[in-house]
Chains A and B, each alone.
Chain A
């Protein structure tokens, strides 16, 4: 091999080496790229959800401060009313009182699985639903959606089946928009199941039943 040719070979080799090093780095970063740094579009969504969340935290602080003021002004005489009001509010969140209000009815007929139903409940909560029932069963924090050993879908141990009728109290327009947005959950489900039928109706007044399975507390100890 002449000296000249070996120089050419060296040059080519060096170039290839550069490419290989690059490829290597590229592969090493793949896993972290799958969990990519949020794109600027994602960051805007995170930003706006933080702005919204902080606004509602500020509103909560105002409400709590007002409550504290009321206690201090009224003493035990005004306390009864305030306590009952607060108790009712928390009972609604816990699903341990019947609840009414405007909202939305979503009827889905199709072969949904437990994960689909979990996703739907999560989507309703995410869109601000304040109370949810599925086929007449009030869904609460400790509700579980599963499949029993005979293949039935169960909500808190109670068998249920298509059509799935969700009643959600909250801002009907916001919830409907969230469900129906392009690339949203309904679109994804319709893509997965050809025979899915979805009907959405807003309602001025829904009445949701009391949750029937209060939690059994055997292991947990609470502290302020």
Chain B
């Protein structure tokens, strides 16, 4: 009986069973990361579809804010030109709007790029999270650029302003409540020599540089004669703060 299991006829069946089993196991294990989400026909979950819809809406709202701010500024300048006092205040307002990040800007500076490691395999004893760019890496870069005297910063075309927080949800980086994905390109306007000196200096960005060296995290920078920064198009809602005492 036992011998019959392995005769020539059965051998082909065993072969098929083995192949199918191997493939099934492979499929099973590979699909496990997405287990737990409801997958739609196009491969995206219901939530993902809603997130995309909200992101499109956010883009439209920001465009509207940009347009309204421009109209207001034009109107302000036209009307203010009629009296000296108004003109003075209007000029002061323009200065404060500019340094707050409400105007687009241009100038020489530096471009810093951070991206996840492209390594295909991660040794078993290594932490996979050391191979990707985290929100604190971006915060460290932004902080260093301010330290180096930069005059304006944007990350993936999101202008960094006073109310900007750089945070993460899972491994998704959010800036100005907008979802960013790698590569992260940080643009900064300022003295290119000084900015480059600071970025290169081994005593700064130690963690990022170590991950680049040991885990292949991508960290590149180059000076540029023309960096362009978009205007901030989000809100500056102040509900609690009042000027003065």
Contacts and interface: CB of A to CB of B under 8 A. Distances in A.
Interface of A: 3-4, 7-8, 10-12, 14-15, 17-19, 21-22, 25-31, 33-47, 49-54, 56-61, 64-65, 67-68, 71-72, 75-76, 79-80, 83-84, 86-103, 114-115, 118-119, 122-123, 125-126, 130-131, 140-146, 169-171, 207, 215-224
B116 interface: yes
Given A11-B18, A21-B22, A56-B237, A40 B144 contact: no
Given A35-B171, A38-B169, A221-B105, A87 B93 contact: yes
Given A19-B25, A64-B68, A122-B139, A141 B37 contact: no
B79 A30 contact: no
Contacts of A29: 30, 33
A103 B25 CA distance: 56
Interface in B3-54: 3, 6-8, 11, 14-15, 18-19, 21-23, 25-26, 29-30, 33-34, 36-38, 45, 47-48, 50-51, 54
B26 A90 contact: no
A141 B101 CA distance: 9
Contacts of A92: 238, 241, 243
A221 to B, nearest CB: 5
Interface of B: 3, 6-8, 11, 14-15, 18-19, 21-23, 25-26, 29-30, 33-34, 36-38, 45, 47-48, 50-51, 54-55, 57-58, 61-62, 64-65, 68-76, 79-80, 82-83, 85-86, 89-90, 92-93, 96-109, 116-122, 128-129, 131-132, 136, 139-140, 143-144, 146-147, 149-152, 160-167, 169-172, 174, 176-179, 182, 189-191, 207, 234-245
A59 B235 CA distance: 8
B170 A31 contact: no
12 contacts: A35-B132, A40-B38, A45-B169, A47-B51, A47-B54, A80-B86, A90-B236, A99-B244, A102-B240, A170-B241, A216-B151, A219-B151
B75 A46 contact: no
Contacts of B163: 93, 125, 130
Contacts of A4: 3, 6-8, 11
B162 A218 contact: no
Highest count of chain B CB atoms <10 Å: which of A33, A34, A41, A56: A34
Contacts of B82: 76
Nearest to B6: A4
Given A60-B237, A93-B100, A142-B146, 9 more contacts: A31-B119, A35-B171, A39-B37, A46-B179, A60-B234, A92-B238, A115-B140, A130-B240, A224-B74
| A-B interface, 5 closest residue pairs, ranked by CB to CB distance from nearest | A18-B22, A22-B26, A42-B170, A53-B177, A7-B11
Contacts of B108: 219
Nearest to A50: B54
Contact of B107 (A143, A144, A219): A219
A89 B61 CA distance: 21
Contact of A10 (B15, B103, B179): B15
Nearest to A124: B165
A43 B236 contact: no
A41 B171 CA distance: 12
Nearest to A75: B79
B62 to A, nearest CB: 7
A220 B143 contact: no
Contact of B58 (A57, A80, A88, A170): A57
A101 B177 contact: no
Contacts of A218: 151, 191
B118 to A, nearest CB: 7
